[in-house]
Amino acid sequence: RTLLWDTEHFIPVLESMKRGNVLTSSWVNDNAWMSSTLQGELVMFDAVSGTNTMSLKGCKGPLNSFDCHPQHEHCVITGGTDGTVKLWDTRRSGTTKFIKAFSQDEVEETVLAPVDHRAHTSAGTAHRGSVNAVKFTPCGNFVVTLSGGSCATWDNRWARPRRLHEIERTKQTGSGRRVPMVLTGSTLSNVRVITPLQNLSKEIFSFYARPRPTENIVTMAGHLAPVSDFDISASNQMISAGEDGMILAWGYREGRGRKVKARDEDKDQW
């Protein structure tokens, strides 16, 4: 189940019920939110009644991550433990047909297709292992995926998306669970990826989505146990939560090879 809370009085005001275990939820707009499940489903709920208004069978295993297209309200991308990354049309509720899939196999394409509404039922895999996170860049033309410590950037403008590059940031082995990821920047040249990389990581890393000759990595260290989740405000204030029971506030700043620590007063408060 999913609960909607009144943050002023700290009481639940709405409950939505759906068979399956919810892995992650996010608002689609002011009237609806979407959830992914352990059973590989992507479901949408009405924010007024709490009723299920859309359901898609996303993958053969747990559906770790999804993201809504910033320009096309009916398009959503998913990433699951079966290694697939797929683009869906949310108006096709109850179906297993998707718009297009991201594949690590080399493809030949000659036509650009920002939104191709043809339906497909079979897909290759974007990564050999579990996909831990997927995100559109702010323009929606590119997609960043995370799998087992490797970060890949894809050109979404093609009918079959092309992988521009993949960078292995760590060789550590984690499980197939969801890993939080946030993108900052407006164009591919300045988009930065912020993520723990692995679900067992105690640190949060920030690096450019497009590789540069001079690497520019920021490491944020402060948690005593793996990072569970984090978010960043419009003013670059970052809040992170860890399995150590701490919630840390960070003054996030970009820098070259910088290692940032949580403020001592923030750690003392928690």
Backbone angles phi, psi at 196, to 5 degrees: -75, -10
Predicted confidence (pLDDT) at residue 257 exceeds the cutoff of 50: no
Mean pLDDT in residue range 99-126: 60
Q: What type of residue is 12?
A: P
Q: Output the average pLDDT for the chain.
A: 80
Predicted confidence (pLDDT) at residue 253 exceeds the cutoff of 60: no
In this predicted model, which residue has the larger pLDDT, 24 or 223? Answer: 223
pTM here?
0.80
Give the per-residue pLDDT at 111: 41
In this predicted model, which residue has the larger pLDDT, 151 or 96? Answer: 151
pLDDT range class, residue 109, cuts 50, 70, 90: very low
Predicted confidence (pLDDT) at residue 107 exceeds the cutoff of 80: no
Name all contacts of 28-32 with Cβ < 8 Å and 24+ positions apart.
28/68, 28/73, 29/73
Predicted confidence (pLDDT) at residue 169 exceeds the cutoff of 50: yes
What are the Cα distances from residue 247, in Å, to 115, 231, 240, 244?
A: 39, 11, 6, 9
What are the Cα distances from residue 133, in Å, to 24, 89, 97, 168, 186?
A: 11, 19, 21, 15, 19
CB proximity list for 258: less than 8 A, separation 6 or greater: 218, 219
Predicted confidence (pLDDT) at residue 194 exceeds the cutoff of 50: yes
Cα–Cα distance between 3 and 17 in angstroms, integer? 9
Give the per-residue pLDDT at 154: 94
Closest to 62 measured CA to CA, from 151, 3, 121, 130: 130
Cα–Cα distance between 135 and 128 in angstroms, integer? 18
CA 142 to chain centre: 13
